[in-house]
Structure 1
Amino acid sequence: MELEASIEAFWPSPPDWEALSERAASALAQLAPELANPRLSASILFTGDAEVHALNAEWRGKDKPTNVLSFPMLEREDLLNLALEGPPELLGDIALALETCTREAADKGISLEHHAAHLIVHGLLHLAGHDHVTSPEDARAMESLEIKALAQMGIADPYGDHDET
């Protein structure tokens, strides 16, 4: 999968947010092979609460910022049936809000980098059609993929209550 990252100047540096996004996508592609399709592309916008608030209000009818938004462009069935050969396909777009992410990371006692990695993995799974709202089973399956992908990146279980092997 090809990722295009757009990083607003107010996101702190280091780390290299684009490299982090690539690492997250690579780790996830090992666990969710549909995301390893070379035809796929996705964009990640590292922005602030104001922009995410506006997107959340416009597209989800929620008048508040949130940590991450995902805007899938393919249905899960279409993604699973996507041939390896052919023209590029946009998987979707992700937006992360710095202020909310920073506050959540501080509340959890983890680095912004690790929290952002989790949210990138989480957002990519949403783009691939995974959901944690539809049922407890779906939530557990999605969380399991998140935990395993983050473990490959050397990042601890963000939920803190799982024993994944």
Structure 2
Amino acid sequence: MGWSEAELSLTLISDRPMARLNRQTFQRRGPTNVIAFPFHPTPTPEGPPPLLGEVVISLETCARQAQETGWPVEELFDFFLIHGILHLLDYDHDTPEHEARMDEKTLELLRLLHPGIKDI
């Protein structure tokens, strides 16, 4: 990406504001687990670390999906955070090939945080 350090904004919200954000951003009804807003910064050699963008996670959806899937909530939260960060780094799941690439990278990074984790 052109830099060795970067920053991001992380916002944790409940389902109601997430549903509103999901509707405003994607015209979809209801809450979702994570939404990422990439800023696409230009690297500057002498400037501060660039702000990659914002990751927004619904803690209510995370807790509900953890209960539904049987995953520990901490691991699922980390999964959503990694997923959002990858969106900031231009990963996407708009095609089957892109989705496979993103899923592979998400699980690779998740296993660094949680060795022995089962696949989602």
- Is TM more than 0.5 here? yes
1:72 aligns with 2:38: yes
Is contact 1:150-1:157 (8 Å) kept? no
Aligned counterpart, 1:109: 70
SS at match of 1:62: coil
The percent identity for this pair of structures is: 30
Aligned counterpart, 1:98: 59
Deviations 1:106-157 (CA, angstroms, capped at 9, x unpaired): 1110111110000000000011110012x22211111111111111112514
RMSD: 2.1
Q: 1:57 to 1:35 in 2, by over 3 A?
A: farther
Tell me, which stretches of 5 or more residues in structure 2 are unaligned?
Answer: none
CA distance in 2 between partners of 1:136 and 1:147 (Å): 16
1:37 aligns with 2:37: no
CA distance in 1 between partners of 2:15 and 2:3 (Å): 31
Tell me, which stretches of 5 or more residues in structure 1 are unaligned?
Answer: 1-33, 160-165
- Give the paired residue count: 119
CA distance in 1 between partners of 2:2 and 2:75 (Å): 21
Is contact 2:75-2:114 (8 Å) kept? no
SS at match of 1:43: strand
Q: 1:153 to 1:84 in 2, by over 3 A?
A: farther
Q: 1:126 to 1:35 in 2, by over 3 A?
A: farther
Aligned counterpart, 1:120: 81
Aligned counterpart, 1:27: none
Aligned pair partner of 1:144 in 95, 98, 104:
104
Q: 1:84 to 1:151 in 2, by over 3 A?
A: farther
Q: 1:106 to 1:35 in 2, by over 3 A?
A: farther
Aligned AA for 1:145?
A: K
Aligned counterpart, 1:26: none
Using the size of structure 2 for normalisation, the TM-score is: 0.87
Is contact 1:42-1:93 (8 Å) kept? yes
